[in-house]
């Protein structure tokens, strides 16, 4: 009885944490302010054409696309120019800055419009997506951030399933209580105004942070500015770490332990209870196979719903969730070691100190 009750608490926490994931609303009216799209890019020659092709038909008079070439070793700059973007070379990385924040700061300084949208190079907009982002921000103000819907093209990309779900859970924005006590933001897609960006301190205020999106959202809230979080289904997509399993491990090792330390304590407890519920079938199987089977079906059914709302992982990933669960736990352990023992992670050929404010 105690095992069943503990499972139900954790399983229920999974529903609570992702009770509802609102998405940007369709836009019927066509009037919107001009927007400066800033794309920080380091070695993104393969990803940029997809994003630029999705942007081009959605641009209106006055819009601009600025690609900040962050010291790429490939043809990123040439690909961006061929795609119609204005290319800005990021100056040498100053001491104390993380590369992406420096690139975003450089791009924002060149923006000519009041509305600024920061998009990662591996995203792509759905038809009408740019209008949805700009109008959504107009209604919310402050910082408007959207987690892209996750395209899955190769088998190894399915290993990111639980990372996507936990990233959404960790914000506390999608519970029945709504966004009142949410934390963080989603770095791949941020929309703001130049005035609010300056008022928050912008990327200069988070220059040494590994997780610039979490820190930037905190700066906005501290400045009394709202932060609105949305899911990206129907608006914006990405393929996360398509180059192989090594990129998946490196990327999530960089992000996850540091992100966990920023989550509200009660949310950490709820996520931990949910992870325990996912692990329950294996733990219960030797003593009570029937209960273990029931728990497994309950978890798999829940994951079918959650994964459908966050990406194209499919029902097979939900049914075989023990594989991405084992991967999640292994990478999280590695991230803890790199973040708090080694105090440095690597990303795109750079060593990034994980201690706050480290140079």
pLDDT truncated to tens, each residue of the chain (359 aa)? 678 899 999 999 999 999 999 999 988 877 899 999 999 999 999 999 999 999 999 999 999 999 999 999 999 999 999 999 999 999 999 998 988 999 999 999 999 999 999 999 999 999 999 999 999 999 999 999 999 999 998 888 899 899 899 999 999 999 999 877 789 999 999 999 999 999 999 999 999 887 889 999 999 999 999 999 999 999 999 987 777 777 777 766 666 656 666 788 899 899 999 999 999 999 999 999 999 999 999 999 999 999 999 999 999 999 999 999 999 898 888 777 766 666 555 555 555 555 544 43
What's the confidence (pLDDT) of residue 261? 64
Domain co-membership, 89 together with 202: yes
Domain co-membership, 264 together with 329: yes
> Is 158 domain-assigned?
yes
What's the confidence (pLDDT) of residue 358? 40
Q: Please answer whether residues 187 and 213 qualify as being in contact, where contact means their C-beta atoms are separated by less than 8 angstroms.
A: yes
φ, ψ dihedrals at 341, nearest 5°: -100, -60
CA-based nearest residue to 228, from 149, 147, 131, 163: 147
Residue 227 is part of which domain span?
A: 35-245
What's the confidence (pLDDT) of residue 357? 43
248's enclosing H/E stretch is helix 245-260
b/e sequence 291-314, b meaning 16+ C-beta within 10 Å: bbeebbebbbebbbebbebbbbbe
Domain co-membership, 147 together with 279: no
What's the confidence (pLDDT) of residue 359? 35
> Is 352 domain-assigned?
no
Domain co-membership, 150 together with 264: no
Domain co-membership, 269 together with 194: no
What's the confidence (pLDDT) of residue 64? 98
What's the confidence (pLDDT) of residue 153? 85
> Is 230 domain-assigned?
yes
> Is 350 domain-assigned?
no
Domain co-membership, 275 together with 154: no
Q: Report the domain count for the chain.
A: 2
The CATH number covering residue 212 comes to 3.90.550.10
Domain co-membership, 13 together with 40: no
Q: Rounded to 10 degrees, what is the CA torsion of 345, 120, 136, 182?
A: -10
What's the confidence (pLDDT) of residue 254? 61
What's the confidence (pLDDT) of residue 262? 74
> Is 140 domain-assigned?
yes
Per DSSP bridges, beta strands 86-89 and 149-150 are unpaired
């Amino acid at each position: 009885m105690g095992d069943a009750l503990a499972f139900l608490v954790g399983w229920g926490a999974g529903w609570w944490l992702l009770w509802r994931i609102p998405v940007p609303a369709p836009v019927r009216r066509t009037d919107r302010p001009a927007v400066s799209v800033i794309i920080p890019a380091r070695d993104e020659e393969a990803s940029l054409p997809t994003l630029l092709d999705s942007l081009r038909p959605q641009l209106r008079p006055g819009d601009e696309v600025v690609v900040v070439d962050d010291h790429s070793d490939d043809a990123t700059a040439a690909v961006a120019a061929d795609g119609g973007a204005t290319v800005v070379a990021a100056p040498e990385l100053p001491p104390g800055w993380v590369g992406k924040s420096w690139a975003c700061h450089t791009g924002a300084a060149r923006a000519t419009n009041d509305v600024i949208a920061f998009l990662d190079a591996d995203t792509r907009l759905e038809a009408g997506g740019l209008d949805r982002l700009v109008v959504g921000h107009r209604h919310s103000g402050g910082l408007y951030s959207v987690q892209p819907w996750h395209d899955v093209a190769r088998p190894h990309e399915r290993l990111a399933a639980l990372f996507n779900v936990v990233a959404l859970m960790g914000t506390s924005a999608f519970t029945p209580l709504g966004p009142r006590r949410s934390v963080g933001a989603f770095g791949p897609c941020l929309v703001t105004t130049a005035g609010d960006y300056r008022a928050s301190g912008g990327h200069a205020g988070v220059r040494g942070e590994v997780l610039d999106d979490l820190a930037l959202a905190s700066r906005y809230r501290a400045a009394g500015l709202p932060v609105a979080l949305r899911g990206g289904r129907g608006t914006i997509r990405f393929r996360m770490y398509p180059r192989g399993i090594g990129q998946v491990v490196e990327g999530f090792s960089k992000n996850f332990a540091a992100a966990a330390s920023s989550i509200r304590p009660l949310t950490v407890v709820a996520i931990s209870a949910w992870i325990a519920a996912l692990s329950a079938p294996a733990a219960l199987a030797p003593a009570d196979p029937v209960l273990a089977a029931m728990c497994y079906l309950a978890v798999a059914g829940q994951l079918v719903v959650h994964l459908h709302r966050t990406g194209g992982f499919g029902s097979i990933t939900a049914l075989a969730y023990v594989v991405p669960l084992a991967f999640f736990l292994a990478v999280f352990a590695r991230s803890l070691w790199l973040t708090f023992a080694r105090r440095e992670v690597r990303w795109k050929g750079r060593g990034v100190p994980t201690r706050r404010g480290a140079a």
